């Protein structure tokens, strides 16, 4: 047990909050905000559906975090050399059985919400929900975890970006269009950028534990370039959508989030120590959430 975890009590509320990885939850909230805002702008939205979609996204994220905690511990990716935040299974703060029960409860709640959406909007949302749960479990678990085989970035881009935004829009208005798909791209870029910072920070421990992220496959320079490209695409895409009249001019306020990129970019490009990259991870998550809130304000205005 590390020095930072010695004062933590096994199975305490604080430990469970650490297992849920509360700082990661804005990554689940942001797509729901954007999908709901676009539904309001183009059609209408239902507040109850929004709240349920938000809760469903959060519980999927928590379940995925706990499943990831279990799988990374089992595979040796979380070990004494880790420089990121405390992982509760690796530190013995929760048993493997306890973390699996927590993940199962979270996935169970999200499944119940998904069944309600199936009841009100039909089978497509059931398929989307089932695929999302499968992706959450197999990200680091199962016989061929895609997070260990270079596909983590792609799956996060698709499931926590494109699908998360479009599914929220769909449960509100029962249709999908090219406008919401295009708007989901910057959200997908930013949530993937969060993962890339994590992969840059853990590149050496991932390599030793045979967790082959794209950062491990192609190296640090590639990962840095990938991070910058995703940020650039995220900020250019809304400008293109505004230019072609897909988004209203008021959504330009999303650019107020741009200064928040400066510190994370500097850390990713020029600093490779754990504390700097942990700070960059939080900073990129803040960019993601701020971007989503600001562009949604422009859509609701």
Res. 12 pLDDT band, cuts 50 70 90: confident
Closest CA to 172 of 299, 65, 26: 299
Number of domains within the chain: 1
Q: Is residue 86 part of a domain?
A: yes
Q: Is residue 26 part of a domain?
A: yes
Gap between the Cα atoms of 38 and 238, Å rounded: 13
Q: Is residue 254 part of a domain?
A: yes
Q: Is residue 4 part of a domain?
A: no
Q: State residue 206's pLDDT score.
A: 87
Q: Is residue 1 part of a domain?
A: no
Taking only the tens place, the pLDDT of each residue in 198-257 is: 999 989 888 888 889 999 999 999 999 999 999 999 999 999 999 999 999 999 999 999
Q: State residue 243's pLDDT score.
A: 96
Q: State residue 73's pLDDT score.
A: 80
Tokens of 243: 């230019």
Q: State residue 252's pLDDT score.
A: 96
Q: State residue 263's pLDDT score.
A: 96
Q: State residue 147's pLDDT score.
A: 81
Mean per-residue pLDDT, 70-84: 67
Q: State residue 141's pLDDT score.
A: 75
**Domain housing 162:** 12-300
Mean pLDDT computed over every residue of the chain: 90
Taking only the tens place, the pLDDT of each residue in 174-192 is: 999 999 999 999 999 999 9
Q: State residue 91's pLDDT score.
A: 81
- SS3 assignment, position 94: coil
Percent of the chain with pLDDT over 90: 66
Do the beta carbons of residue 71 and residue 141 sit within 8 Å?
A: yes
Whether residue 166 is predicted with pLDDT greater than 50 in this model: the reply is: yes
Res. 48 pLDDT band, cuts 50 70 90: very high
Taking only the tens place, the pLDDT of each residue in 110-147 is: 999 999 999 999 889 889 888 888 888 888 777 778 88
Q: Is residue 3 part of a domain?
A: no
Residue 142 region, left (φ>0) first, then alpha (ψ -120 to 50), else beta?
A: left
Q: Is residue 36 part of a domain?
A: yes
Tokens of 248: 């209203």
Output the pTM of the full model.
Answer: 0.92
Which residues lie closer than 8 Å to 289 by C-beta, 6 or more apart? 26, 29, 30
Percent of the chain with pLDDT over 70: 94
Residue with structure tokens 């909050």?
17
Closest CA to 42 of 190, 170, 234, 188: 170
- SS3 assignment, position 187: helix
Q: Is residue 5 part of a domain?
A: no
């Amino acid at each position: 047990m590390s020095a930072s975890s010695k004062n933590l009590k096994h199975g305490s509320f604080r430990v469970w909050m650490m297992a849920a990885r509360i700082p990661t939850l804005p990554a689940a909230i942001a797509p729901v905000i954007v999908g709901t805002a676009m539904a309001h702008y183009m059609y209408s939205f239902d507040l109850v559906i929004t709240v349920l979609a938000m809760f469903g996204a959060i519980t999927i994220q928590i379940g995925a975090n706990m499943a990831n905690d279990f799988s990374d511990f089992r595979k040796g990716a979380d070990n004494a050399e880790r420089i990121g935040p405390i992982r509760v299974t690796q530190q013995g703060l929760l048993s493997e059985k306890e973390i699996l029960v927590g993940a199962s409860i979270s996935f169970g709640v999200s499944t119940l919400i998904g069944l309600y959406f199936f009841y009100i909007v039909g089978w497509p949302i059931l398929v989307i929900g089932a695929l999302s749960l499968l992706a959450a479990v197999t990200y680091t678990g199962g016989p061929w975890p895609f997070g260990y085989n270079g596909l983590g970035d792609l799956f996060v881009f698709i499931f926590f970006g494109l699908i998360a935004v479009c599914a929220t829009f769909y449960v509100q208005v029962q249709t999908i269009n090219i406008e919401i798909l295009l708007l989901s791209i910057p959200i997908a870029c930013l949530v993937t950028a969060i993962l890339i910072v994590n992969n840059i920070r853990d590149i050496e421990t991932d390599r030793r534990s045979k967790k082959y992220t794209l950062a491990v496959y192609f190296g640090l320079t590639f990962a840095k370039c990938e991070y910058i490209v995703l940020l650039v695409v995220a900020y250019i895409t809304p400008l293109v959508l505004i230019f072609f009249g897909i988004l209203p001019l008021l959504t330009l306020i999303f650019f107020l989030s741009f200064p928040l990129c400066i510190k994370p970019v500097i850390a990713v490009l020029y600093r490779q120590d754990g504390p700097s990259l942990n700070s960059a991870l939080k900073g990129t998550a803040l960019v993601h959430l701020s971007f989503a809130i600001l562009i949604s304000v422009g859509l609701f205005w």
